[in-house]
Amino acid sequence: MAVQQLLLMSLLAFMGSSINQEIKKVTRLSLANSKDSNFGEWYSEVITTSEMIGYYDISGCYTLLPWTMGIWKRMQNFFDPEIEKMDVEPCNFPLFVSKDALQKEKDHINGFAPEVAWVTRSGDSDLEVPIAIRPTSETVMYPHFSKKIRGHRDLPLKLNQWVNVVRWEFSSPTPFIRSREFLWQEGHTAFATKQEADTEVLEILELYRRLYEEYLAVPVVKGKKSEMEKFAGGLYTTSVEAFIPNTGRGVQGATAHCLGQNFAKMFDINFEDEKREKTEKAEKAMVWQNSWAYSTRTIGVMVMIHGDDKGLVLPPKGAKVQVIVVPVPYKDADVENILNACSATVKTLCDSGILAKADLRDNYSPGWKYCHWEMKGVPLRVEIEPKDLANNQVRAVRGDNGAKVDIPMTDLVNTVKGMLDTIQQSMFNVAKQKRDACIQVTKTWDEFIEALGQKKLILAPWCDEEEVEKEVKRKTKWETGSAKTLCSPLDQPELAEGTLCFASGKPAKKWTYWGRSY
């Protein structure tokens, strides 16, 4: 009898668990793909199941759903006040560019021409001259710079806009990472001197580092692009570079260019240099310009770095909801008291500046809600059940590692704040450890090739010659994509006297990061 009972019980338990799995599949509360065994599928599944991205019937275009826009808003809320402190002002220039303006600066547009989308028709009639949709706004904004800047008192001029841009990419699209339309901020500034422009580039680059490291908990390297990888219309390009361990690819996270005087020349952006006027005859001087941007790509990088097999994992500073409060009423327990306690908890947390929300829906079970919010990557879950009410406490569960803590109500705000800080810091530490474990210093070609095969982020001494970079690209043209320079870190390790370039054997000039990239 006892044995039969046992068998029956385990049979029921087995049926229960497979029914559970069935339910999870139907309601899409668990992922079918794992991050380590099927990264590409896992990524698509995470961003759709967590309700970040909607697919669309035009290839390379995606819908950014509220969960994504909540993250984007938080990134804006960090960045906007910072650039405001630098006296950068908001603006909004048109979406359309005339053909003349677009083609004014040839270096700038040459390599990019195939990616420019054009409007050629309205209704049934062809436009007299086609107009382009902005792929970036140098050529849209600089006619204004030319008109607005007269004397040195008009400088510096610093503008930023948050807009969408369109680049008709042909390589395979990936939501957030490479899409045909994306959102970004683009800053465009003009100065009287190169020195001021140089200083601003570094200030902006530091803001980008902080955005990634302090807000999104993603480690990045600040560096300078090679001549081959820089923006052709500019003088030099700096960037922050992230690395995705699962694919072994680097990804440019944001970029700040010093444009030099190229655009000033083409768009006549001059000023009477009154300072010189006194000593020499009145002379026109060209401005020094910068442009800088980060885009919704940042969000994709964050998902790839932190997401796990349960779904998205958001760092507290990047999350629209930092704490989700879930009521766990038992059958006979006083439901109303539990719901009230949840609402009160949310109010206390929100009053102290924490982004908290209660999920009081009565058509979903607590278990379903746990999975749902786990999938969406909420950093902290607070559960309140009758036992907690009785003990004047709540139970908190961390989104990043599942650790559970009982928090006395009397200490709620402090403890939750502390936990959110800990999660933020710990997510960065874990990501940095993983990134650092992928860095491989290579001093010879053989070491380089081996490291590339192992999907490493390679740091190598380089002679800084364009021909050599081209040769490396040619020689590594495997089906997974060829290796290129990511950046030369601003923070250079010591380069011992006599160190040779890993690729050419010539004297090395600097340490440079190499790898495959997005």
Applying CB under 6 A, the residues found at the interface with ligand 87F are: 108-109, 112, 115-116, 135-136, 138, 167, 186, 231, 255, 257, 291-293
Residue 28 corresponds to which amino acid? R
Instruction: Please calculate the CA angle 95-97-100 and round it to the nearest 5 degrees.
Output: 175
Q: In terms of CB distance, is 254 or 346 closer to ligand 87F?
A: 254
Locate 186 and state its tokens: 């683009």
Locate 43 and state its tokens: 């990524």
- First-to-final CA distance of the chain: 63
- Provide, rounded to whole angstroms, the least separation between the CB of residue 477 and ligand 87F: 23
Distance CA(299)–CA(312), nearest Å, equals 11
Sign of CA pseudo-dihedral 68, 74, 75, 76: positive
- Provide, rounded to whole angstroms, the least separation between the CB of residue 56 and ligand 87F: 21
Q: What is the dihedral of CA 417, 419, 425, 428, to 10 degrees?
A: -120
The distance of Cα 126 from the centroid of its chain, to the nearest Å, equals 39
515 Ramachandran zone, left/alpha/beta (phi>0; psi -120 to 50) = left
Q: In terms of CB distance, is 109 or 221 closer to ligand 87F?
A: 109
Q: In terms of CB distance, is 108 or 224 closer to ligand 87F?
A: 108
Nearest to 478 by CA among 453, 503, 448: 453
Q: In terms of CB distance, is 291 or 322 closer to ligand 87F?
A: 291
Q: In terms of CB distance, is 167 or 320 closer to ligand 87F?
A: 167
**CB contact at 8 A, 238 and 205:** yes
Q: In terms of CB distance, is 142 or 292 closer to ligand 87F?
A: 292
Residue 375 corresponds to which amino acid? M
Distance CA(132)–CA(128), nearest Å, equals 13
DSSP H/E element including 17: helix 2-26
Residues in Cβ contact with 351 at an 8 Å cutoff, skipping those fewer than 6 apart: none
Q: In terms of CB distance, is 29 or 258 closer to ligand 87F?
A: 258
Nearest to 347 by CA among 323, 363, 313: 323
- Provide, rounded to whole angstroms, the least separation between the CB of residue 142 and ligand 87F: 11
**CB contact at 8 A, 502 and 445:** yes
DSSP H/E element including 74: helix 66-85
- Provide, rounded to whole angstroms, the least separation between the CB of residue 255 and ligand 87F: 5
Q: In terms of CB distance, is 235 or 503 closer to ligand 87F?
A: 235
Place of tokens 């474990």: 437
CA atoms within 13 Å, Cβ hemisphere of 410: 2
Q: In terms of CB distance, is 290 or 393 closer to ligand 87F?
A: 290
Distance CA(61)–CA(449), nearest Å, equals 36
Q: In terms of CB distance, is 116 or 358 closer to ligand 87F?
A: 116
Nearest to 446 by CA among 490, 505, 389, 510: 505
